Amino acid sequence: MAFIPVSQDEFSCCVCLDLLKDPVTVSCGHSFCLTCITGCWNQEDQKGVYSCPQCRETFTPRPVLRRNTMLTEVIEKLKKTELQSDAKASSYAGPGDVECDFCTGRKHKAIKSCLTCMGSYCEVHIQPHYEVTCLKKHKLVNAISQLQGKICSQHDRIIEVFCRTDKKLICMLCSMDDHNGHKTVSAAAERTEKQVNLSPSRS
């Protein structure tokens, strides 16, 4: 079955310019929201002549309006498609998001970074790490931007410790080896302390 591309504009009411609600079709073939056409014709009651707001064809007496069930179904499907495409769009990487390294074309938002593979993955591409036995042993963390710069080149582990003695960021293994006995704190704690010291003092 061929896919016919349609947009919301093709199913808009020419009175309210919004997507048709409770669509009814007039005998000239044009469709309107039930409330919109009822409102228009209520204003024409005194004249006793009713016109189509789109093509201006006139009718006497006032036509009985019947719901267009087929058009109602099409609009419901269109609404669902629009909601799905909106949800899909929100999963694309935007400014400040970590991009998936494995998406081709437009990149999706990465949800996890693998410290073993040194890559970041979106919701779809991370699945093998949950399902394939050899990948399940990999070390996954929440998505990290510029992954290479946040990994210890010596131990291939995430840099999450700050050595105050040597004033440098190191990994957990570094703190136990080369920096054993040094004054260390978590990188997050050091960042927080620096931000507090940099913020203007409150009187």
Percentage of the chain with pLDDT > 90? 20
Q: Which residues contact 52 (CB under 8 A, 6 or more apart)?
A: 26, 28, 30, 58, 59
110 inside domain: yes
- Mean pLDDT (whole number) for 29-43: 92
DSSP of 149-161: GGB-TTT--BEEE
Query: Can you give the pLDDT at residue 199?
Result: 60
Query: Can you give the pLDDT at residue 55?
Result: 93
Residue type, 161: V
Query: Can you give the pLDDT at residue 23?
Result: 92
**Where is the domain boundary, 46, 81, 116?**
81
**CATH code assigned at 41:** 3.30.40.10
Whether the CB-CB separation of 95 and 107 falls below 8 Å is answered with: no
**CATH code assigned at 187:** 3.30.160.60
State which residues form the domain around 113.
92-151
Query: Looking at the 3D structure of the chain, how many domains does it have?
Result: 3
Exposure on the CB side of residue 173, measured as CA atoms within 13 A: 8
